[in-house]
C-alpha cells in the first residue's frame, strides 16, 4: 500500500524552528517529486513547496522563501520541511503528498499540526 505519514509537528514560539518529516512506503520514493501543502484549521489549502526526485530542484511559495526548506533523503525514504523563523501565521496542518505524473497529488498523509504561539 502506498503511504505517506507526516510527523514532527508541535507547539513552537514565534521565531523558533521545527523540522517536519514525512515517512513514505509502498513506492519507489526516489522516482517521484514530493510536495508539502498546508491548511490553517478551518481554512483552505495552500501549496508550500515541491522537490524533484534527486533534490536538485526545489520550489517554495513566496511566503516561506528564506525561512522554510524542503529536502529529502532517498536512502531513508523520507521527505523533510525545515521551518525556521516561524510566525504565528504559519500555524497550520501540514500535509505531504506524492506528486505523480501529470502533477497529481496522491496520496496525502493525515497531516501534522504546527502551532506557532507564545
Partner 1 sequence: DIVMTQTPLSLSVTPGQPASISCKSSQSLLHTDGKTYFYWYLQKPGQSPQLLIYEISNRFSGVPDRFSGSGSGTDFTLKISRVEAEDVGIYYCMQSIQLPWTFGLGTKVEIK
Contact flag: residue 8 with partner 1 (CB under 8 A)? no
**From candidates 5, 8, 46, 84, binder to partner 1 by CB under 8 A:** 46
Give the one residue of 67, 69, 105, 115 binding partner 1; rule: CB under 8 A: 105
Tell me the backbone φ, ψ of residue 52, rounded to 5 degrees. -85, -175
Strand partners, 4: 24
Compute CA distances 57 → 40, 50, 106, whole Å.
26, 8, 20
Q: Tell whether residue 75 is a contact of partner 1 (CB under 8 A).
A: no
Give yes or no for residue 53 binding partner 1 (CB under 8 A): no
Nearer to partner 1 by Cβ, of 27 and 105: the residue is 105
Q: At a CB cut-off of 8 Å and minimum separation 6, what does 86 contact?
A: 12, 13, 14, 15, 16, 17, 18, 67, 114, 116
Nearer to partner 1, 56 or 118 (CB): 56
Residues that bind partner 1 (CB under 8 A): 37, 44-47, 50, 59, 61-62, 95, 102-111
Amino acid at each position: 500500500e502506498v503511504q505517506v505519514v507526516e510527523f514532527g509537528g508541535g507547539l513552537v514560539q514565534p521565531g523558533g524552528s521545527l523540522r517536519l518529516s514525512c515517512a513514505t512506503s509502498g513506492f519507489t520514493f526516489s522516482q517521484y517529486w514530493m510536495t508539502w501543502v498546508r491548511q490553517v484549521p478551518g481554512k483552505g489549502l495552500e501549496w508550500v513547496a515541491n522537490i524533484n526526485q534527486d533534490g536538485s530542484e526545489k520550489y517554495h511559495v513566496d511566503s516561506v522563501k528564506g525561512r522554510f526548506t524542503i529536502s529529502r533523503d532517498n536512502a531513508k525514504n523520507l521527505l523533510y520541511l525545515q521551518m525556521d523563523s516561524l510566525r504565528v501565521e504559519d500555524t497550520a496542518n501540514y500535509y505531504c503528498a506524492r506528486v505523480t505524473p501529470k502533477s497529481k497529488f496522491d496520496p496525502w498523509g493525515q497531516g501534522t499540526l504546527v502551532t506557532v504561539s507564545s
